Chain A
């Protein structure tokens, strides 16, 4: 089974010829290799490869898999081969800029309203999480298109609070 994947942003390919315990696999176009693989706990893979011992811990997240080995973190998306070729070509344009919550928290203050002109560095919204307040600022000059944040509202990480023209 050939699995194209993206590992910390870099593209790769792993082919599982036989799963554990006597695992045979191939990385990219490399030679066939063998590893001894056990799962002593759910989502934990004990891998003996070329005499070395590795404990790989796996987390399933909405954005893909997170694999942690010796405290090193790898974000891995296993891709569907049929969608592999379809890559989005459009880059980041000059269009509206969305200001999103950098962390889950609560909106404590909204400092602008739709239609306001803002300067670079001007405060837009203050979000609090774990007793720490963060002021989100405009990264460029522009006009406020919309404000979806309201004071006292709980917000998720990545939730758009303000859009700038």
Chain B
């Protein structure tokens, strides 16, 4: 087993990986950019190394600096987390060349699956159905030609994509050029690869994915599905296991599991990976892509299977055979995860960086928080604004939803906007409760609902609290009142206090 592992990542996933490594008795090395010196992963790790300035292209994406840090600190393996270099075949190959174990699949398997277009070809060769699209990157003119042949709407997707970055839904010809330019530019910044390919957009489809783990000795099993249909800006925000659709049609789990294993085997895959499927209104499923890394939403699989996926990843990378067989896997109860972001859900989900002035995390039965924030921390504007993942387990899906609403109610983050209140609202929705999900659910939700109106009784209490606070401060808190006026308030406030 490894003695020391470097985590080539930041934020909540770096913290989550450090936790398992510590449980395994393995020393940890964090890396950090200039924007992250006081981030939690640096504070929690045993050792830490600086890897450059704030922009990720100059720090977390710098293969040379990450490897130099691993060498300097004497790490014998690197966990890439998700995002950044996790699906970069050159990085996996460079680790191998440097004599450091990459905790993930081989560089060859990443090449076959990490590029979305190569993965489509691998899937087609393995006999897995795919959504109509181009099997190579395209120019703007080729994208136009594809739409002329297949019609709108279409999806522009980054060849190197992930996390919804470099993805645009285009419904009209007039929007194609600007969408193409912005998708390519966003992909270039996120993945250092501006290549774009095109898929036909299937409306009212679900996004259901299969978690796989395979060792280096030819054993591969699936850990069931995750329903990831609730998305905003093509990025998942709520995930659950099991999928409510698969619960109604249990045969789908075996069929999708077998198809996923087939696609992964075609790529010579080992370690943890996820095959994403699009499921249409008739429950037919199509290969979308394979994520050759740990997924953001892996906690829901951990909660229902009882496995620690990071531990499994580390054991596989160390060359150990899988100790679990397909028949050992069972799915107990239901788990849901909500991604807590610094963003304003009622203003187009725009990011909302800033400083946390207050933080209370939910606790109690069945609650798990994978976070990276603390009171007084400033959310950097350079990175994804994910603050934490709140995951809950319940005996049934309904109980898990009730538990999630309860936990969200306990969750209090001050100083910035978050999507916590939005999750509470959407989890009350009858369509969601009935499990009738699709990838356009959140956009449609806003046509059916308005931002929640707080109860009038609470407004009265809020007014009282504001009044008490103002009296205790001795002045009104809107600060454009100047010196003499302030002291008039002070006098008046003190006089009232003496009464």
Contacts and interface: CB of A to CB of B under 8 A. Distances in A.
Interface of A: 1, 3, 5, 7-8, 12, 14-20, 23, 25, 27, 35, 37, 39, 43, 45, 47, 49, 54, 56-60, 62-74, 76-80, 102-106, 108-109, 123, 126, 128-135
B458 interface: yes
A7 B384 contact: no
B315 interface: no
Which interface class (under 10, 10 to 19, 20 to 34, 35 or more) fits B?
Answer: 35 or more
Interface in B353-395: 353-354, 357-358, 381-385
A130 B433 CA distance: 32
Given A16-B468, A80-B476, A80-B481, A1 B496 contact: yes
A35 B464 contact: yes
A159 to B, nearest CB: 13
A123 B178 contact: yes
A72 B458 contact: yes
Enumerate the 6 nearest inter-chain pairs by beta-carbon distance, A residue then B residue, closest first.
A56-B465, A72-B454, A14-B467, A74-B462, A1-B496, A78-B476
Contact of B463 (A5, A17, A39, A80): A5
27 contacts: A1-B467, A3-B466, A5-B466, A7-B462, A7-B466, A19-B472, A25-B467, A27-B463, A35-B464, A49-B464, A54-B458, A64-B478, A66-B414, A69-B458, A74-B459, A76-B462, A76-B466, A78-B476, A80-B489, A129-B350, A130-B351, A130-B353, A130-B384, A131-B165, A131-B383, A132-B186, A135-B178
A83 to B, nearest CB: 8
A108 B464 CA distance: 45
A109 B358 CA distance: 35
Contacts of A70: 409, 458
Contacts of B485: 80
A56 B454 CA distance: 14
B176 to A, nearest CB: 13
Contact of A71 (B353, B357, B358, B424): B424
Contacts of A35: 464
A3 B464 contact: no
Contacts of B461: 47, 49, 54, 56, 69
Given A16-B496, A19-B468, A103-B352, A73 B421 contact: yes
A39 B473 CA distance: 13
A15 B468 CA distance: 9
B255 interface: no
Contacts of B382: 130-131
Given A71-B424, A72-B454, 17 more contacts: A3-B471, A5-B463, A7-B463, A8-B454, A19-B468, A19-B497, A27-B464, A57-B414, A62-B479, A67-B465, A69-B461, A70-B409, A74-B463, A129-B381, A131-B56, A131-B189, A131-B382
Contact of A105 (B182, B354, B381, B477): B381
Contacts of B126: none
Contacts of A72: 421, 452, 454-455, 458, 462
B492 interface: yes
A86 to B, nearest CB: 13
B481 A130 contact: no
B282 interface: no
B146 interface: no
Contacts of A7: 459, 462-463, 466
B414 A78 contact: no
Nearest to A137: B178
A45 to B, nearest CB: 5
B477 A60 contact: yes
Contacts of B182: 126, 133, 135
B421 A47 contact: no
Interface in B439-484: 452, 454-455, 458-472, 476-479, 481
A20 B452 CA distance: 31
B462 A133 contact: no
A135 B424 CA distance: 30
A56 B475 CA distance: 19
A71 B423 CA distance: 11
Nearest to A49: B461
Contacts of A59: 357-358, 414-415
B381 A79 contact: no
